[in-house]
Amino acid sequence: MPQIYFLCTGNACRSQMAEGFAKQLLNRTWRIESAGLETHGLNPLAVKIMAEKGIDISHQYSKLIEPTYLSHSDLVVTLCGDARDRCPMTPPTVKRIHWPLPDPASAVGDQEAVLTVFRQVRDQIEKRVAELADQLNR
């Protein structure tokens, strides 16, 4: 079974959202996981804005990169520069792509301003995962 790994620094927002969209958009032949270089806990605002799209990620949790899963993945997607730069080495058979997305957890302002940033990042992730799914589901 082919597998994909979405990686970010803390596995709290971006990679969690990507995992949620991929589980919805990729066909069932794909194994889908996300992880981080560290564990920062699942961000409740990520859960909230994904629910707006009808995707429940509330049962997901922040995980560290698992070396065996990483080395056996068909595709690794990094969603921040830190994960791209610090991701452990992978065999040459593992395709790696990078989506440089801003960290919504670093947004400042009142609650609505922060939610706006979360939604913008979510929508970028949804678009990229949909494009990826179109390629992989062929």
pTM: 0.95
Tens-digit pLDDT profile for residues 60-71: 999 999 999 999
The CATH number for 70's domain is: 3.40.50.2300
State residue 48 phi and psi, 5-degree precision.
-60, -50
Pairing of β 3-8 and β 95-98? unpaired
Catalytic amino acids? 8, 80, 87
- Give the number of residues written for the chain: 138
* Structural domains in the chain (count): 1
- The boundaries of the domain holding residue 102 are 3-137
Give the model's pLDDT for residue 128: 97
Tens-digit pLDDT profile for residues 39-64: 999 999 999 999 999 999 999 999 99
Tens-digit pLDDT profile for residues 83-118: 888 888 888 899 999 999 999 999 999 999 999 999
Q: What distance in Å separates the CA atoms of residue 126 and residue 112, rounded to the nearest whole number? A: 21
- The mean of the pLDDT values for the chain is 94
| Amino acid identity at 96 | R
